[in-house]
Structure 1
Amino acid sequence: MASLEEISQHVHDKISSLQLLVDLSVIDLPEQKIKKLGQELFALERLLEEFEKCVDEQKQQLKRLKEFEEGFQKTLEDVMHIKDNIPAHIPRKNGPVNRNESGRNQLEAVDHQADGNKKTSKSFIKEMAFITMPEFDTIPPYMKGRVSYEQLNAAVQSFNTALTAKYKILHQSGKTLNNRSHKLQLRFKSEETKETRGQFFVVEEDIREFTQTKVDKRFQGILNMLRHCQRLRELRGGGVTRYMLL
């Protein structure tokens, strides 16, 4: 199929040829010239039909391009909406399904090998996985209150900040710590029990020490939400409440 430009040029040439024949029609033309004029008219008619067909195809193509443009514009708007509404913290899942066993295996040091756990590095610090939107939607409205998805994950980040700071100190040799950090390390060790061995946990004092989060009534509500989403459990004893990662 010839292009629209080629057909247009053909039509222009044929019209020019016909115009020349018409100009010569004032003169008595031989039969051969008259036959030639008829052939040119027939060819021009065929070209016009092809031209109209090509124009129709161009219209259909233009229609498809407009539909594509509209779809592209809608996709672009969706992408921009996603870009403008990306959560501050992207939820992620860490480690195997059995979180308790994973945490136990990863924290046990050489002096705890009698329990049959594998040797792992003391430098490992487990973090709480961020809450996904489907999980957030399962939380009952009465439990959510006015806490938003972003605020809940901000609390998760605070827990992780406290965990990281605590266990970095706890994993260090006492000889390398300054006086303040040494006192913190002693407190951390005093809060451990047989049930917490190999587990990661923080207490309210750790949250106050290492983050700007207020430990108030709203914070207690967030704890309920995290328990609902199976991110932690509480272990009480000795006047201390331990928030242990699951």
Structure 2
Amino acid sequence: MASSGLPSAGLPSAGLPSAGLPSSGLPSSGLPSSDLPSSDLASLCSLINTKISTVARTLQLRRIAEEPVLKSVFSKIGKDLIILHGLLIKLEMEVYHQEKLRDMLKDLQKSAEKDLLEAQHLCENIPQPLKRTQTGTAMPAVKNKEQRKAVNPKQAKKPTKETRVTKKVGLITAEEFRGIPEYMRGRITYEQINTTVDEINKAVERKCKILQQPLKSMNAATRNLYHRFKEEETKGTKGVFFIVEADIKEFTELKMDKRFHIILSILRHCRRLREVHSSKLVHYIIY
């Protein structure tokens, strides 16, 4: 049905009496007054014809949907819409999983960046003892059978003094430093602790060097130190490396103040040193 089939819905285009109609529109028909110019009756007719045309078009489409030829087409369209709806649900689920994976990757990236910064900090702040190569006294190479046979029997009977590799105090790691209780650590810094460890290792190394030196090659001062070292040994220190406060005063420039004793407590807490008390001395034994 075309709108041309109803030229004016039975209304003349002009010359109608007012018939009680207000000039501002048709309130009784439910049409808003803003759609109807009060001075143009032709616009009223056009509006009514447009609405009738819309209703007629809707009825026409409804009749088309009921035709058998088009029912299969609409059914297929409905099935396709159902399939598209399922695909949209799957797409939404995939987007959700991808967003979740993105958040996990962001957290992993932040963790990796944090580890990278810590690694760079460690590389830039390597303690001095780790920068230099730690050297120990090497054991003499074992000679082969032919060389051992060629050795003079008198020389072979001479006792050889066994050399010992000096044991040193391990440095405190950044993770261990963070685990030290605040009441124990106070204002002591990470660098101060490892600097003290470095000085203690120097004292241990120099003491062991004197103990391994032949007595005949010692001067009077070194011999006095050697005898003092031997007198300070006890049953509790047999076979271990230890130092006393006198060794630290002798071989380092550390001050025996409150901060030094706090650092010793930290080293005991981190299992770098342990104390053995005798009647006169406190022996600091290296783990």
TM-score, length of structure 2 as denominator length = 0.47
Structure-1 residue corresponding to 2:286: 245
Shift of 1:81: 5.7
Shift of 1:79: 9.7
Q: Per-residue CA shift, 1:64-114, capped at 9, x if unaligned?
A: xxxxxxxxxx9xx9599638841334769xxxxxxxxxxxxxxxxxxxxxx
Structure-1 residue corresponding to 2:261: 220
Contact 2:277 2:283 in 1 (8 A): yes
Alpha-carbon distance change, 120 to 181 in structure 1, aligned in 2, over 3 angstroms: closer
Partner Cα distance (2:231, 2:246) in 1: 13
Contact 2:129 2:198 in 1 (8 A): no
Structure-1 residue corresponding to 2:93: none
Partner Cα distance (2:168, 2:117) in 1: 32
Alpha-carbon distance change, 136 to 90 in structure 1, aligned in 2, over 3 angstroms: farther
Q: Per-residue CA shift, 1:185-215, capped at 9, x if unaligned?
A: 0000000011111100000010010011111
Give the secondary structure class of the aligned counterpart of 1:159: helix
Structure-2 residue corresponding to 1:87: 126
Alpha-carbon distance change, 79 to 167 in structure 1, aligned in 2, over 3 angstroms: closer
Shift of 1:170: 0.9
Of 136, 145, 170, 2:211 maps to 170
Contact 2:241 2:286 in 1 (8 A): yes
Greater Cα radius of gyration, structure 1 or 2 = 2
Structure-2 residue corresponding to 1:10: none
| Structure 1: runs of 5 or more not aligned | 1-73, 93-118
Partner Cα distance (1:233, 1:132) in 2: 18
Contact 1:91 1:132 in 2 (8 A): no
Q: Give the 5 Å matches for 1:53-72.
A: none
Q: Per-residue CA shift, 1:2-32, capped at 9, x if unaligned?
A: xxxxxxxxxxxxxxxxxxxxxxxxxxxxxxx
Partner Cα distance (2:119, 2:174) in 1: 19
Alpha-carbon distance change, 171 to 140 in structure 1, aligned in 2, over 3 angstroms: same
Give the secondary structure class of the aligned counterpart of 1:205: helix
Partner Cα distance (1:210, 1:166) in 2: 8
Partner Cα distance (1:169, 1:122) in 2: 12
The amino acid across from 1:173 in the alignment is: P
State the Cα RMSD in Å.
2.8
Q: Per-residue CA shift, 1:40-82, capped at 9, x if unaligned?
A: xxxxxxxxxxxxxxxxxxxxxxxxxxxxxxxxxx9xx959963
Shift of 1:216: 1.2
The amino acid across from 2:125 in the alignment is: I
The amino acid across from 2:126 in the alignment is: P
Give the secondary structure class of the aligned counterpart of 2:264: helix
Give the secondary structure class of the aligned counterpart of 1:235: strand
Of 249, 252, 276, 1:211 maps to 252
Asked which structure has the greater RCO (Cα within 8 Å, sep 6+), the reply is: 1
Contact 1:89 1:153 in 2 (8 A): no
Alpha-carbon distance change, 166 to 178 in structure 1, aligned in 2, over 3 angstroms: same
Partner Cα distance (1:183, 1:197) in 2: 20
Shift of 1:236: 1.0
Whether 2:224 is the aligned partner of 1:183: answer: yes
Q: Higher helix fraction: Structure 1 or Structure 2? A: 1
Identity level (%):
41
Partner Cα distance (2:122, 2:238) in 1: 43
